[in-house]
Amino acid sequence: MARMNMVQAINLALHEEMKRDENVIVMGQDVGVNEGVFRVTAGLYKEFGERRVIDTPLAESGILGTAVGMALAGLRPVAEMQFSGFSYLMMGHLEGHCSRYRSRTHGHLTVPLVVRMPYGGGVRALEHHSESREAMFAHIPGIKVVIPSGPRNARALLTAAIRDADTVVFMEPKRSYRAFREEVPEESEVWPIGKARVVQEGTDLTLVSWGAMLRMALEAAGEAHARRGVSVEIIDLLSISPMDTETILDSVKKTGRCVIAQEAPLRLGPASEIIARINDKALLYLEAPVGRVGSYDVVTPYFGREQAYFPGVDSVRRAIDETLDF
């Protein structure tokens, strides 16, 4: 066991997987000599060389497009988008090819690759560096969208993503990159994609969250427990697509109340989908409407105003209270 932050844990997974399988290569802007703008790829260039750690030209579509070709030819590229805000230039390949190749060839040709990208706000970053657009990616069938919330699950899920037979968009909450450390096991772990985790058991209310919001959810739940003795069950979604409906439903059927806390804007977001699934399968178990926390449906403001925009512990706490007091 070693204590490490999320950057180190992701780096560990990359090291381990590159060592394990020489088809695994890392590519992106500044991922080699410079070791990534967040140092996520530290040490890889030195250890594996420029053939396996490729400093690419500056072009997001080109990065994913060439990665698609590599994956079709048998490599396992791990492509980095420097920031999720620049990733939309590669959407053509994600929607047009990553999502379709397996289906359009009935499994004869597949695109097993990982697109890593730091996303989300809260670090007072420049324009285009703070959005949470997981819903955009998760809307595309045939790709997977994974969001870790801490070092241990980041390492275990990235390992799973690299070994996965399909394209995985791996969104890294950059607010959590160095926010805290955690014990990460010595041995490589593989957590199944498409599976949520109950990180705290409870009986009164289900709180679903993911990414950087999970820490705020934990804090809000702790506060609610201290203040009014409420027992909150917290689910870390981890995988936006495919989505683990079962774990959420089991919990909601037990607690009868649910709040979903996401950093992304509310409209048509993952929370909306979760509510739809609860409506389909557990409506009659509900004691109150499902509460929803998220950003406003406005353009992400510059960081001078980001505190007014992003949800935090207070908004989660308010939603817990409203759902309990309904």
For other proteins, the binding residues (CB under 8 A) are 25, 51, 56-57, 59, 61-62, 64-75, 77, 89, 92-93, 96-97, 102-110, 141-142, 144, 164-166, 194, 242-243, 245-246
Q: Which of 15, 97, 108, 129 is the catalytic position?
A: 129
Residue nearer to other proteins on the CB measure, 176 or 239:
239
Q: How far is the CB of 319 from other proteins (least distance, A)?
A: 26
Residue nearer to other proteins on the CB measure, 51 or 308:
51
Residue nearer to other proteins on the CB measure, 7 or 248:
248
Q: How far is the CB of 93 from other proteins (least distance, A)?
A: 7
Q: Report d(CA 204, CA 226) in Å as an integer.
A: 14
Q: Report d(CA 154, CA 176) in Å as an integer.
A: 11
Q: How far is the CB of 156 from other proteins (least distance, A)?
A: 17
The verdict on whether 128 is a catalytic residue reads no
The residue with tokens 């590159």 is: 18
Q: How far is the CB of 36 from other proteins (least distance, A)?
A: 19
CA trace torsion 30, 31, 37, 42 (10° rounding): -140
Q: How far is the CB of 9 from other proteins (least distance, A)?
A: 24
Q: Report d(CA 319, CA 214) in Å as an integer.
A: 15
The residue with tokens 């599976």 is: 195
Residue nearer to other proteins on the CB measure, 21 or 297:
21
Residue nearer to other proteins on the CB measure, 2 or 58:
58
Residue nearer to other proteins on the CB measure, 108 or 325:
108
Taking a C-beta distance cutoff of 8 angstroms, is the pair 11, 45 a contact?
no
Q: How far is the CB of 250 from other proteins (least distance, A)?
A: 13
Q: Which residues are designated catalytic?
A: 129
